[in-house]
C-alpha cells in the first residue's frame, strides 16, 4: 500500500465558515461524547501530532451528528474537531466546528464555530449520507492497521484518490454500495497514509470497531514476530 499524498491537514474544499462560539446548551453533550473517545484514540496514538510523522502536522478527527435523523443528504449536520487540533492534549467546545450543510458536487462546506472544520469534514459528510443510522465517525491514523488492511479484509479506497476531496466522497459511497463496508463499518484510505475510518450509530459502537480492529492487527503482528508483540510500530 502506498500513500498518494503525504501532506496532512490541508483543507481542500471551500469553507464557508462563520466564526462564533458554539453554545454548550446545544452541543455540549455531543461534544463530551466524542471528546471522550478522542481521548482514548489519542492515548492509543490514533489521534495526535508527532514531529516525526506527516511533516509534524496534527492527524485524526472525530465527529457526531446532531439534528433530526431524517435530515436529507447534504444537510446531516455534525460536530467535528477543528482543523489541526490533533496535537492538543485537551480540547473543549471551541475546538469543534458545527458543519451545517455540505455539497459534495460543489465541494463546499458551511460551518460555524471558533475553528474551521477538519480537512476531512467532506469525508465525514459523505459517510453520514450513506445512512441515516450513522451518527458517529472516527478517523484515526494507524500504521499497524493500514499496512495490513488486505490481510484484515478491510475495504480500501483507491490509492490514487486524495483525502478530503469529492472523489474520496464518491469512493466511500462505492465501497458502501459494494456491501462489505456496510457490514464492516471500517475502511482504510489507500491514498491517505495510515488513514483508517470507522462509523456507527453510537460513539461506543464506532469506538469498539476501531479498537477491535486494532487488536486484530496486533494479533497479526504477534504472529509475524513469532508470538511477541514488542516493539510495535
pTM of the model: 0.91
Please state, in angstroms and rounded to a whole number, the distance separating the CA atoms of residues 24 and 34.
14
Residue 230's pLDDT is what? Answer: 62
Does position 125 have pLDDT exceeding 60, yes or no?
yes
Percent of the chain with pLDDT over 90: 66
Q: Where are the alpha helices (DSSP H) in 162-202?
A: 166-178, 180-184
Range of the domain at 60: 14-224
Look up residue 41 and give its DSSP letter: H
Please state, in angstroms and rounded to a whole number, the distance separating the CA atoms of residues 137 and 124.
6
Buried b (16+ CB within 10 A) or exposed e, 162-199: bbbbbbbbebbbebbeeeebeebbbbbbbbbbbbbbbb
Give the residues across from 101 on adjacent strands: 110
Residue 198 contacts residue 138 (beta carbons within 8 Å): yes
Residue 11's pLDDT is what? Answer: 62
Give the residues across from 59 on adjacent strands: 48
Q: Could you tell me the pLDDT band of residue 231, with boundaries at 50, 70 and 90?
A: low
In a domain, 154, yes or no: yes
In a domain, 51, yes or no: yes
In a domain, 229, yes or no: no
Lowest mean pLDDT among 57-71, 102-116, 174-188, 218-232: 218-232
Q: Structural domain tally of the chain? A: 1
CATH number, domain with residue 85: 3.40.225.10
Return the higher-pLDDT residue of 13 and 90: 90
User: Cis link prior to 115 (omega < 30° from 0)?
Assistant: no
Interacting residues of 188 by C-beta distance below 8 A, sequence separation 6+? 1, 145, 146, 149, 154, 155, 156, 157, 195, 196
Residue 42 contacts residue 48 (beta carbons within 8 Å): yes
Q: Could you tell me the pLDDT band of residue 165, with boundaries at 50, 70 and 90?
A: confident
- What's the length of the chain? 233
Return the higher-pLDDT residue of 105 and 112: 112
Does position 7 have pLDDT exceeding 70, yes or no?
no
Return the higher-pLDDT residue of 202 and 2: 202
In a domain, 233, yes or no: no
In a domain, 150, yes or no: yes
Please state, in angstroms and rounded to a whole number, the distance separating the CA atoms of residues 20 and 23.
9
Q: pLDDT for 50-74, tens place per residue?
A: 887 877 777 899 999 999 988 999 9
Average pLDDT over residues 130-158: 96
In a domain, 112, yes or no: yes
Q: Where are the alpha helices (DSSP H) in the chain?
A: 24-43, 121-128, 143-146, 166-178, 180-184, 203-224
In a domain, 232, yes or no: no
In a domain, 69, yes or no: yes
Top-confidence range, 42-46, 87-91, 155-159: 155-159
Q: Could you tell me the pLDDT band of residue 4, with boundaries at 50, 70 and 90?
A: very low
Amino acid at each position: 500500500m502506498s500513500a498518494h499524498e503525504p501532506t496532512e491537514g490541508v483543507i481542500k474544499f471551500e469553507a464557508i465558515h462563520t466564526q462564533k462560539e458554539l453554545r454548550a446548551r446545544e452541543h455540549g453533550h455531543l461534544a463530551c461524547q466524542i471528546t471522550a473517545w478522542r481521548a482514548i484514540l489519542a492515548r492509543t496514538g490514533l489521534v495526535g501530532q508527532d514531529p516525526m510523522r506527516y511533516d509534524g502536522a496534527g492527524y485524526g478527527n472525530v465527529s457526531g451528528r446532531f439534528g433530526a435523523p431524517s435530515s436529507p443528504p447534504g444537510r446531516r449536520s455534525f460536530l467535528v474537531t477543528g482543523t489541526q487540533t490533533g496535537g492538543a492534549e485537551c480540547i473543549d467546545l471551541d475546538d469543534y466546528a458545527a458543519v451545517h450543510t455540505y455539497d459534495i458536487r460543489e465541494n463546499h462546506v458551511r460551518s460555524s464555530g471558533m475553528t474551521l472544520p477538519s480537512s476531512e469534514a467532506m469525508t465525514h459528510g459523505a459517510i453520514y449520507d450513506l445512512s441515516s443510522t450513522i451518527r458517529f465517525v472516527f478517523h484515526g491514523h494507524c500504521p499497524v492497521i493500514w499496512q495490513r488492511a488486505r490481510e484484515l479484509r478491510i475495504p480500501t479506497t483507491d490509492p490514487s484518490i486524495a483525502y478530503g476531496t469529492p472523489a474520496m466522497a464518491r469512493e466511500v459511497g462505492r465501497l458502501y454500495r459494494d456491501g462489505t463496508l456496510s457490514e464492516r463499518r471500517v475502511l482504510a484510505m489507500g491514498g491517505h497514509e495510515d488513514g483508517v475510518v470507522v462509523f456507527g450509530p453510537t460513539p461506543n459502537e464506532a469506538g469498539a470497531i476501531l479498537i477491535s480492529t486494532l487488536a486484530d492487527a496486533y494479533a497479526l503482528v504477534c504472529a509475524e514476530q513469532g508470538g511477541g508483540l514488542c516493539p510495535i510500530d
